[in-house]
Amino acid sequence: MATATKKKKAAGSAKKAPARTSKRAAAYTPPKKFPISFRVNGSEVRAEAPAHTSLLYLLRDLGFTEVKNGCEAGDCGACTVLLDGVAVNACCVLGVQAEGREITTVKGIGTVENLHPIQKKFIELGAIQCGFCTPGMIVAAYELLEKKPRPSREEIKAGIAGNLCRCTGYVKIIDAIEAAAGEMASSKGRKS
Protein backbone atom coordinates (compact mmCIF):
# COMPACT_ATOMS: atom_id res chain seq x y z
CA MET A 1 0.00 0.00 0.00
CA ALA A 2 2.70 2.42 1.09
CA THR A 3 4.66 1.83 -2.09
CA ALA A 4 1.64 2.39 -4.26
CA THR A 5 0.96 5.76 -2.65
CA LYS A 6 4.56 6.78 -3.10
CA LYS A 7 4.53 5.85 -6.76
CA LYS A 8 1.40 7.85 -7.37
CA LYS A 9 2.84 10.91 -5.72
CA ALA A 10 6.03 10.62 -7.68
CA ALA A 11 4.12 10.37 -10.94
CA GLY A 12 2.50 13.68 -10.19
CA SER A 13 5.78 15.63 -9.86
CA ALA A 14 8.52 16.42 -12.42
CA LYS A 15 8.49 14.14 -15.42
CA LYS A 16 11.89 12.46 -15.54
CA ALA A 17 12.62 11.74 -11.88
CA PRO A 18 9.60 9.51 -11.17
CA ALA A 19 10.42 7.16 -13.99
CA ARG A 20 13.87 6.62 -12.45
CA THR A 21 12.47 6.04 -8.99
CA SER A 22 10.02 3.39 -10.08
CA LYS A 23 12.63 1.72 -12.30
CA ARG A 24 15.02 1.45 -9.37
CA ALA A 25 12.37 0.01 -7.11
CA ALA A 26 11.50 -2.60 -9.71
CA ALA A 27 15.15 -3.56 -10.32
CA TYR A 28 15.78 -4.78 -6.77
CA THR A 29 15.11 -8.42 -6.18
CA PRO A 30 16.54 -9.96 -3.02
CA PRO A 31 19.15 -12.61 -3.79
CA LYS A 32 17.69 -16.04 -4.29
CA LYS A 33 18.00 -18.33 -1.29
CA PHE A 34 19.15 -21.90 -1.73
CA PRO A 35 18.07 -24.73 0.55
CA ILE A 36 21.10 -26.36 2.15
CA SER A 37 20.95 -29.61 4.10
CA PHE A 38 24.08 -30.91 5.71
CA ARG A 39 25.35 -32.38 8.96
CA VAL A 40 27.18 -30.51 11.70
CA ASN A 41 28.85 -32.54 14.42
CA GLY A 42 26.62 -35.48 13.55
CA SER A 43 23.30 -33.61 13.58
CA GLU A 44 21.15 -33.01 10.52
CA VAL A 45 20.89 -29.29 9.72
CA ARG A 46 18.52 -27.66 7.25
CA ALA A 47 19.15 -24.07 6.29
CA GLU A 48 18.56 -21.53 3.59
CA ALA A 49 21.01 -18.92 2.37
CA PRO A 50 21.92 -16.85 -0.66
CA ALA A 51 24.81 -18.28 -2.69
CA HIS A 52 27.24 -15.57 -1.60
CA THR A 53 26.95 -16.52 2.09
CA SER A 54 30.19 -18.14 3.21
CA LEU A 55 30.13 -21.39 5.16
CA LEU A 56 31.63 -19.35 8.02
CA TYR A 57 28.66 -16.97 8.12
CA LEU A 58 26.19 -19.79 7.61
CA LEU A 59 27.57 -21.77 10.54
CA ARG A 60 27.78 -18.76 12.86
CA ASP A 61 24.24 -17.66 11.92
CA LEU A 62 23.04 -21.16 12.79
CA GLY A 63 24.61 -20.81 16.23
CA PHE A 64 27.90 -22.61 15.68
CA THR A 65 29.78 -19.60 17.00
CA GLU A 66 32.72 -21.77 18.03
CA VAL A 67 33.80 -21.26 14.41
CA LYS A 68 35.68 -17.96 14.59
CA ASN A 69 35.82 -15.10 12.13
CA GLY A 70 39.36 -13.78 11.96
CA CYS A 71 40.31 -12.49 8.54
CA GLU A 72 37.73 -13.86 6.11
CA ALA A 73 40.44 -14.21 3.50
CA GLY A 74 41.93 -17.64 4.13
CA ASP A 75 44.93 -16.29 6.00
CA CYS A 76 44.38 -16.92 9.71
CA GLY A 77 42.72 -20.34 10.09
CA ALA A 78 40.41 -19.19 12.92
CA CYS A 79 37.47 -20.50 10.89
CA THR A 80 38.95 -23.98 10.34
CA VAL A 81 36.40 -26.82 10.29
CA LEU A 82 36.50 -30.34 8.91
CA LEU A 83 34.57 -30.76 5.66
CA ASP A 84 34.08 -34.48 5.18
CA GLY A 85 37.10 -34.95 7.44
CA VAL A 86 39.36 -32.47 5.68
CA ALA A 87 40.50 -29.23 7.38
CA VAL A 88 39.30 -26.20 5.41
CA ASN A 89 38.91 -22.46 5.91
CA ALA A 90 35.13 -22.02 6.25
CA CYS A 91 35.51 -18.41 5.09
CA CYS A 92 36.70 -19.60 1.67
CA VAL A 93 33.90 -22.11 1.13
CA LEU A 94 30.35 -21.11 0.20
CA GLY A 95 27.49 -22.27 2.39
CA VAL A 96 25.81 -23.85 -0.64
CA GLN A 97 28.93 -25.98 -1.16
CA ALA A 98 28.21 -27.73 2.15
CA GLU A 99 25.10 -29.34 0.67
CA GLY A 100 25.11 -33.02 1.61
CA ARG A 101 28.45 -32.72 3.42
CA GLU A 102 29.53 -33.42 6.98
CA ILE A 103 31.00 -30.51 8.95
CA THR A 104 32.93 -30.99 12.20
CA THR A 105 33.68 -28.03 14.44
CA VAL A 106 35.84 -28.04 17.55
CA LYS A 107 32.74 -29.10 19.51
CA GLY A 108 32.48 -32.20 17.36
CA ILE A 109 36.02 -33.21 18.26
CA GLY A 110 35.35 -33.30 21.99
CA THR A 111 32.88 -31.83 24.46
CA VAL A 112 33.38 -30.14 27.82
CA GLU A 113 32.30 -33.38 29.51
CA ASN A 114 34.37 -35.56 27.24
CA LEU A 115 37.45 -33.68 26.12
CA HIS A 116 39.58 -34.97 23.29
CA PRO A 117 43.25 -35.48 24.29
CA ILE A 118 44.22 -32.47 22.11
CA GLN A 119 41.77 -30.25 23.99
CA LYS A 120 42.92 -31.66 27.34
CA LYS A 121 46.57 -30.98 26.58
CA PHE A 122 45.82 -27.44 25.34
CA ILE A 123 44.30 -26.72 28.75
CA GLU A 124 46.90 -28.58 30.84
CA LEU A 125 49.90 -27.07 29.07
CA GLY A 126 48.62 -23.50 28.85
CA ALA A 127 48.35 -23.43 25.06
CA ILE A 128 45.38 -21.06 25.28
CA GLN A 129 45.59 -17.38 26.13
CA CYS A 130 42.80 -15.27 24.63
CA GLY A 131 41.44 -18.43 23.02
CA PHE A 132 40.40 -16.90 19.72
CA CYS A 133 42.65 -19.09 17.61
CA THR A 134 41.98 -22.20 19.70
CA PRO A 135 38.94 -23.73 17.93
CA GLY A 136 40.65 -23.54 14.54
CA MET A 137 43.98 -24.59 15.96
CA ILE A 138 42.47 -27.71 17.55
CA VAL A 139 40.65 -28.70 14.36
CA ALA A 140 43.90 -28.29 12.37
CA ALA A 141 45.80 -30.30 14.99
CA TYR A 142 43.14 -33.01 14.85
CA GLU A 143 43.52 -33.38 11.09
CA LEU A 144 47.31 -33.38 11.40
CA LEU A 145 47.22 -36.26 13.90
CA GLU A 146 44.79 -38.15 11.67
CA LYS A 147 47.30 -37.90 8.81
CA LYS A 148 50.42 -38.27 10.96
CA PRO A 149 49.87 -39.80 14.40
CA ARG A 150 53.41 -39.06 15.67
CA PRO A 151 54.56 -35.86 13.97
CA SER A 152 57.93 -34.26 14.65
CA ARG A 153 57.95 -30.71 16.00
CA GLU A 154 58.78 -29.49 12.50
CA GLU A 155 55.82 -31.41 11.11
CA ILE A 156 53.58 -29.92 13.79
CA LYS A 157 54.75 -26.43 12.77
CA ALA A 158 53.94 -27.20 9.14
CA GLY A 159 50.58 -28.67 10.18
CA ILE A 160 49.48 -25.48 11.95
CA ALA A 161 51.16 -23.06 9.53
CA GLY A 162 47.71 -21.96 8.40
CA ASN A 163 46.60 -21.03 11.92
CA LEU A 164 47.77 -17.73 13.33
CA CYS A 165 47.99 -17.08 17.07
CA ARG A 166 48.65 -13.57 18.32
CA CYS A 167 49.16 -14.54 21.96
CA THR A 168 51.08 -17.69 22.74
CA GLY A 169 54.12 -17.54 20.50
CA TYR A 170 53.16 -21.09 19.42
CA VAL A 171 55.62 -22.93 21.68
CA LYS A 172 52.97 -24.18 24.10
CA ILE A 173 50.62 -25.02 21.25
CA ILE A 174 53.30 -27.20 19.69
CA ASP A 175 54.01 -28.74 23.13
CA ALA A 176 50.31 -29.53 23.58
CA ILE A 177 49.94 -31.18 20.17
CA GLU A 178 53.10 -33.22 20.76
CA ALA A 179 51.83 -34.31 24.19
CA ALA A 180 48.40 -35.17 22.79
CA ALA A 181 49.99 -37.30 20.08
CA GLY A 182 51.95 -39.13 22.77
CA GLU A 183 48.87 -39.72 24.90
CA MET A 184 46.79 -40.88 21.91
CA ALA A 185 49.53 -43.30 20.88
CA SER A 186 49.87 -44.79 24.36
CA SER A 187 46.12 -45.14 24.89
CA LYS A 188 45.88 -46.81 21.48
CA GLY A 189 48.66 -49.14 22.56
CA ARG A 190 46.76 -49.99 25.76
CA LYS A 191 43.57 -50.74 23.85
CA SER A 192 45.09 -53.12 21.32
Partner 1 sequence: MIPAAFGYERPATLEEALILLARHGEGARILSGGHSLLPVLKARLAHPGVLIDIGRIPALSGITRTAGGLRIGALTTHYEVESSPLVREACPLLAEAAGRIGDVQVRNRGTIGGSASHADPAADYPAALLALEAVLVASSPDGTRGIPAADFFTGPYENALKPGEILTAVEVASSPAGSGGAYLKAAQQASGFAICGVAALVTLSGGSIASAKIGVTGVATPAYRARKAEEALAGKPASPESLRAAAALAAEGVDPLDDFHASAEFRVQLAKVYTERALAEALRRAKG
Ligand X SMILES: Cc1cc2nc3c(=O)[nH]c(=O)nc-3n(C[C@H](O)[C@H](O)[C@H](O)COP(=O)(O)OP(=O)(O)OC[C@H]3O[C@@H](n4cnc5c(N)ncnc54)[C@H](O)[C@@H]3O)c2cc1C
Q: Give dist(CA 66, CA 62) in Å, integer.
A: 11
Of 74, 85, 126, 131, the one binding ligand X by CB under 6 A: 74
Beta strand 80-83 with 86-89 is antiparallel
Report, in Å, the least distance between residue 74 CB and ligand X.
Answer: 3
The interface region with ligand FES, picked from 9-17, 102-110, 160-168, 174-182 by CB under 6 A, is: 160-168
Return the residues of window 128-167 that contact partner 1 according to CB under 8 A. Answer: 140, 143-144, 158-162
Residue 125 touches ligand FES, criterion: CB under 6 A: no
Q: What angle do CA 87, 93, 97 make, to 5 degrees?
A: 105
Q: What are phi and psi of 182, to 5 degrees?
A: -60, -45
Burial 12-23 (b: 16+ CB within 10 A, else e): eeeeeebeeeee
Enumerate binding residues for ligand X (CB under 6 A): 74-75, 92
Enumerate binding residues for partner 1 (CB under 8 A): 31-32, 34, 50-52, 54, 57, 72-75, 77, 80, 86-89, 91-94, 96-97, 99, 140, 143-144, 158-162
